[in-house]
Amino acid sequence: MVRPLDEGLATRPTLELPLRTEADVAVARLAARSLGRGLELPDGTATRFATAVSEVSRNAVVHAGGGSIAFALDIHGRVATLLATVVDDGPGIPDVEAAMIPRLGDPAGTGVGLSRARRLVDDLRIAARGGGGTLVQIVRSVPNGAAERWDAAVAAVESAPRIRATASSSPQRAADREPRPSDRGDGAALAAAQAEITELREERTRLAAELEETNRGVVALYAELEDQAQRLRHADELKSRFLSRVSHELRTPINSIVALSRLLADRVDGELSDGQATQVGYIQSAAGDLSVLVNDLLDLARIESGRVDVYAREFLVETLFSGLRGTLRPLAKPGVDLRFVAADTIPPLFTDEGKVAQIVRNFVSNALKFTFSGSVTITPQFAADRGRLRIEVTDTGIGIAAEHLDRIFDEFVQVTGSHQVGVKGSGLGLSVSRGLAGVLGGEVGATSTLGEGSTFWVEIPAIHAAGSGADDAPTDLAAGPTVLVVDDDPTARYLVRHQLAPHGLRLIEAATGAAGLDLVRAERPAVVVLDLTMPDADGLDILAELRADRTTRTLPVIVHTGRELTAGERHRIEAANAQLVRKDAAAGAIAIAVQAALAADPRRKSR
């Protein structure tokens, strides 16, 4: 933020120089650099101060027609500050903050100079002058003892030939000008001219050396910036990798807790007491919250790393809304009406239905959290001229203050207040929604009035540029003899056993990939349920080995995993003609997949 400058501030100028030409700008930079060194500023700091002075002075010459610069030392107690105040005679700056923004295509614009200068010093203060023009004050803190070194530093600056000549040409110093060589005798004039030429040559040499040093400083600064940018990119990559790996490791036990608590709640192994049923309910609730958090973290990590696949297929918005009604209506509080506006006039879409549903589900669940009476309305709009679908979620809840609207889609951001009491959330849902919308080629946004409600919207192309979908798995059920479960996780094998037990199947198990291959050869199972992550082998390699063997080339294989798959891994599974069932799928999914595989197996049909 640019701090305003009080025009009446006493800056106690001790050195004043005119600013009329580019040569004057160079002299101002030289004076600033010399003063900085005289006050024992580090070389890099003195160079940055001089560069800031150069940028602001050039603005005064190029954009305001000229002005002047005054250097002073401001002392408050033990704190000393070096000030460079540039005063110009231009029309002034009507909007200071806007002027600080560099204009594209105008590398010499006012905003470029001011923004550069602000980054180089401690502070930049700007004020409009009463009679027209602008005051810009450049502020740089200096080391202790500056007051004792100030007079000597100023004297050294004033003794420099070029600075002395420039200072003496200032209207304020015109009366103090030294006689010109032409005012003296010929011999004295010649000697003075030769001495001045010698001084100018020495000054040119010093300026060349300073320019070389400045160039090295600029190169070093750019190198430092690039190094910092590289470290930030590396840190961002590490964060995404950490979120992905840790979330995956958390997912397996959470899925097990959810599935086991579901078995208990369904009384599969017997009745529960009232106390036990309550405890199981708490376990399910906590596991569900953890599952949502882990899924959001994984989604966020995939989005940031650019590893999100889009599976586009044709579907109707009305069909999408039908599914959302069933999952979201139980979340509505008493007195809150959940309304879906009809979408039967909207043409079919071709995009990733799952991701669209996730975005809308995040918006609606968020709205239901903070709406205690009234309604939450989901409204679809189709712009045929632009080929885009817009879905708005409008609530009559507590609303969001204007100053928070720009932040609510950031990661882990939650607006604090009394309304948060009793409301759970990680602050990731809206951030994930924004990322998913970007993957689909769309965008999200929100409007809100505090105390009246909010509207969250997502807008996406009706037809995604690329994508592929998969046919639904067949649902014909059939009994089969032997199913081999290959998984190193005993909990996962237990859950598969429980799901398949009612179907009269013979179940055998292997805890390693090698043991699984041995059982395939010895038992000739009808179906193999194969995990991917095992200590001795990758399940994809085992799948490839099964397909390479003539005797098991057509053996039905169901890949049962909680691992986040890359596009290449999905392709390998599809190319091997294997089914994919995730471990966090709905209860009964593995049983349906096994029986569907048995029903479709040509070897069994030929018998």
Residue 7 has pLDDT above 60, yes or no: no
CB 120 within 8 A of CB 9: no
The structure tokens listed for 549 are 């063997």
Residue 300 has pLDDT above 90, yes or no: no
- The pLDDT confidence band at residue 560, using thresholds 50, 70 and 90, is very high
Query: Cα–Cα distance between 261 and 282 in angstroms, integer?
Result: 10
Encode pLDDT of 179-228 as tens digits.
444 444 566 667 766 776 776 677 677 767 767 766 766 767 777 777 78
- Ordered alpha helix ranges (H), 423-506: 429-439, 490-500
Cβ burial of 59 (10 Å; 0-12, 13-18, 19+) is: buried
CB 217 within 8 A of CB 47: yes
pLDDT at residue 476 in the model: 34
The label of the residue with tokens 């590398």 reads 107
Is residue 460 classed as helix, strand or coil in its secondary structure? strand
Distances (CA, A) of 192 to 195, 199, 206: 5, 10, 21
Encode pLDDT of 53-90 as tens digits.
988 998 888 888 889 999 998 887 667 889 999 998 88
pLDDT at residue 477 in the model: 34
Is residue 124 classed as helix, strand or coil in its secondary structure? strand
Give 255 or 394, the one with higher predicted confidence.
394
Query: Cα–Cα distance between 431 and 409 in angstroms, integer?
Result: 5
- The pLDDT confidence band at residue 459, using thresholds 50, 70 and 90, is very high
CB 263 within 8 A of CB 498: yes
Query: Cα–Cα distance between 360 and 366 in angstroms, integer?
Result: 10
CB 485 within 8 A of CB 494: no
Query: Cα–Cα distance between 472 and 380 in angstroms, integer?
Result: 26
Encode pLDDT of 261-272 as tens digits.
888 888 877 888
- DSSP string of 493-512, one letter each residue: HHHHHHHHGGGT-EEEEESS
pLDDT at residue 280 in the model: 84
The structure tokens listed for 198 are 């010698």
Give the mean model confidence (pLDDT) for residues 512-521: 90
Residue 599 has pLDDT above 80, yes or no: no
CB 291 within 8 A of CB 250: no
CB 534 within 8 A of CB 512: yes
Is residue 390 classed as helix, strand or coil in its secondary structure? strand
Spatial CA neighbour of 599 closest among 476, 501, 506: 476
The structure tokens listed for 511 are 């805890």
Bridge partners of 380, per DSSP, are 391
